[in-house]
Chains A and B, each alone.
Chain A
Amino acid sequence: MSELNLEIDGRAVAVPPGATVMDAAVKLGIYVPHFCYHRKLSIAANCRMCLVEVERAPKPLPACATPATDGMKVRTNSAGAKSAQQGVMEFLLINHPLDCPICDQGGECQLQDLAVGYGKSASRFEEDKRVVPAKDIGPLVAAEEMSRCIQCTRCVRFGQEIAGVMELGMIHRGEHAEIVAFVGRTVDSELSGNMIDLCPVGALTSKPFRFAARTWELARRKSISPHCGLGSNLVVQVKQNRVKRVLPLENEAVNECWLSDKDRYSYEALESGERLTRPMLKDHGQWREVDWPQALERVAAELTKAAGSVGILATPHSTLEELYLAGRLAQALGGSADFRLRQSDFSGDAKRGGIPWLGMPVANLDGLDRVLVVGSFLRKDHPLLAQRLRQAAKRGCRVNVLHSVDDDWLMPIANRKIVPPSELLEALRGVNGTPIGESLRSGRNVAVLLGNFAQQHPQAAQLQAAAQALGYPIGFLGEAANSVGGYLAGLPVGGNAASALGHKALVLLNAEPELDCADPQTAGQALERAQFVVALGAFRPARDGADVLLPIAPFAETAGTFVSTEGRIQSFHPAVRPAGDARPAWKVLRVLGNLAGVAGFDYETLEQVREACLRGKDLAALLSNRIDLAASPAAPAPQGLQRIAEVPIHFADALVRRAPSLQKTRDAQPPRAWMNARLMQQLGVSAGQPVLIRQGSGEARLAAALDDRLPEGCVRVPAAHASTAGLGAMFGTLGVQAVAVGKAA
């Protein structure tokens, strides 16, 4: 279809059919005042702020909801348009409390800004204003001053359209209309914080940030999220060397204008009381604070002593530079280093064609018309990738799922196959003969995506091979900020995350082994067995397994680089100075290298480290999801109940574990032992009753919970949580036993 030619404020513009007057104005860079319009949301046209004059139209029309037509002549600025806009503003302000001096939104409020342009200096309204009661809708979003709400319904539409769940609604009508959550409910979406950004006034504000600073006092520093593999772009807002708030930095190719709550609120952990601020040594079982030289010398001496057997375990949330130096250190001292701590199958290591990655740019997810997601807690592991697929599904993409649990992804699922973990591989191999296979065959732009669960699976390499054998492009949903970067940094070195545990000296980089490793029990035993353990971390470890603790600077306090799951190399600067004596880990590793006499370790700057790491590497050429692996015969069915372990969203890394507001959310509720009704009956337990979970040498006491969509013979017991840290492998079998009530304590 041909373009439509119209004229706005005397300037010609051409837009595709279906575009609105607002779209055309945006294209010309003409600003039309608005509140309810948002380019990512459906059109509501309920604020009327965007009224413009259109030639031959008898009255002003809302630009956001008026389709552009050929030959249209629009005036956004004429006397008529202006007076309409001023009239709307007067109405909007009638019931607004005008309490800007005590409003958290003051200084970044669209109503305040537009009132300057379109409002009168005094109100003609002398009657009583309406008062709307405050609401408690959860720990993240404050709805304390709902009298400020202008009923734009952006927050409601966000829930319906972007988060996929309508948690806020507008009840009553007219004068009595108000925004509420359903009686007694809270807003629990993992994307809820975006409503704060969308709310054009100070009705919805950030609970953790409230009254902590004025927006104009805040320095804005760009950064990159250290959490999931997406690599969301951030603006870290700082006052007096303290991170006060984190907002999205718009990047259409990555996070668009959104952030997950995890990315938005994890900064709170920076001020956690558990921060490690001084190096510490254990002498005869007693911890004492020491200065850096003393600590480093001790570590260097111990590592040299253990030369040939140094294991370095780094989380994939570490920076590229940290991981590069860790790898080089392991190489030089003799030993191994790895970052894939939650993975358990390394049989693909020599068989891969390159670095496993998303297989396409993130933005290409939007254009898929068929997708199979294998082994993923998608919504909680990758909130914004889930959001992209949700939008794709809205445009007709058929989303198919192969997994061991059937969680609600808040999007239409075309076909789902839910099998025990031990049958995941066979199910994937046989997928072509199922409705899923049929669905994939009918597509033109198809992808098979492997999630965290598939990557952590004991047959991960075979799963990759089986996915490849389907003949569609495949992709990995990178678990962490540097799941691709770790490979680019040259890791693994000299073995893998499992074999690294066997060394005499262990170096933990950001890692809390009982929470971050595939098998907390073996990791714990390795720590006990090791002659020497040094932990580089930002927090005091919950479990006392180390001999030396070195305080390092986490996200926002250090510079570095993350390579996202789509292979986007994103470097960032520190937003604030490190707390206490904490130092950037790359410097600590460099000094350790120097002290241990490693050659060529004289980096002066981070840029030199990055340069050395990336020199001669062409990332695009290194990325590949190809694998050359002969199909193994099916593994025998395991004896006993199979564990299905997820990593709960707000326990995935050291930072979020210590973010107080996130810890108050529903997503952070203590894990339970989920099973289906039949299993409950077999075991003689009922929902809510305490059960004893035994795995290997450890046990955990959890409340039983019913999830009838779980496959037979499986218990869902989350990992990465203190209450289950005593258990064994994330994939494995376990015993469940009812605890007689009364003895539960």
Chain B
Amino acid sequence: MLSPESLRRIDREIAKYPAEHKQSAVMAALIVAQDEKGWLATETMDFVAQYLGMAPVAVYEVASFYNMYNLEPAGQYKLTVCTCLPCGLQGSLDAADHLKARLGVDFGETTADGRFTLKEGECMGACAMAPVVLVNNKKMHDYMSNAKLDALLDELRKR
């Protein structure tokens, strides 16, 4: 189901907790699984549940609670824009509109070429640097004016 490398990474996470609390590694395990598979299919969640000895629906609870997990296949680059109140007041909704116009997709959609998925996110603890955009859950870009957004898209397209 998951590659030996992914399993090794999950085992490292599990090792951080007492043996009877393996389940504490669920968030990390889901991230590893998603890194490998790109998204969390039912079978993937089921596998993680078995691996950690927990109920599949409990894994589903976690996977559906946080925005960083993709419950559907996503594009090559997932752009998550924080639309919580502080960011909203600082123009993140305009930034989101700009991205929607440039990409031709709405929140939760993927561009036809499969390159970009646009997502709405919750507070990332970076309110002071709004608007913020997170790329593939890992890299944060701040103070995202329209010009900076365009530059970001161009750069990602070039990669």
Contacts and interface: CB of A to CB of B under 8 A. Distances in A.
Q: Do A and B come from one complex?
A: yes
Interface of A: 160, 165-173, 180-185
A185 B46 CA distance: 11
A180 B57 contact: yes
Contact of B57 (A166, A172, A173): A166
Contacts of B56: 182, 185
A183 B55 contact: no
Interface string B27-66: 0000000000000001001100000000111101100110
A312 to B, nearest CB: 48
- Chain A interface, >50% SS class: loop
Given A183-B42, A184-B42, A166 B58 contact: yes
B60 A180 contact: yes
A173 B61 CA distance: 9
A170 B61 CA distance: 6
A169 B58 contact: yes
B60 A182 contact: yes
B61 A165 contact: no
Contact of A167 (B46, B55, B64): B55
22 contacts: A165-B55, A167-B57, A168-B57, A169-B57, A169-B61, A170-B61, A171-B61, A171-B65, A172-B64, A172-B65, A173-B64, A173-B65, A180-B57, A181-B57, A182-B45, A182-B55, A182-B56, A183-B42, A183-B45, A183-B60, A185-B56, A185-B57
Contacts of A165: 55
Nearest to A183: B42
B86 to A, nearest CB: 18
A136 to B, nearest CB: 15
A146 to B, nearest CB: 15
Contacts of B57: 166-169, 171, 180-182, 185
B82 to A, nearest CB: 16
A150 B55 CA distance: 23
B47 to A, nearest CB: 12
Nearest to B43: A183
Nearest to A169: B57
Contacts of B61: 169-171
A171 B58 contact: no
A593 B56 CA distance: 60
Q: Which of B42, B46, B60 has the most CB of A within 10 A?
A: B60
A169 B56 CA distance: 9
Interface string B93-105: 0000000000000
Contacts of B55: 160, 165-167, 169, 182
Given A165-B55, A171-B61, 5 more contacts: A172-B64, A173-B65, A180-B60, A182-B42, A182-B55
Interface string B48-92: 000000011110110011000000000000000000000000000
Contacts of A184: 42
A171 B42 contact: no
Contacts of A182: 42, 45-46, 55-57, 60
A480 to B, nearest CB: 33
B108 to A, nearest CB: 12
A182 B42 CA distance: 9
A394 to B, nearest CB: 14
Nearest to B41: A183
Q: Which of B45, B46, B55, B58 has the most CB of A within 10 A?
A: B55
Contacts of A169: 55, 57-58, 60-61
Rank and list the top 5 A-B pairs by shortest CB-CB distance, nearest first: A169-B57, A166-B55, A171-B64, A182-B56, A182-B57
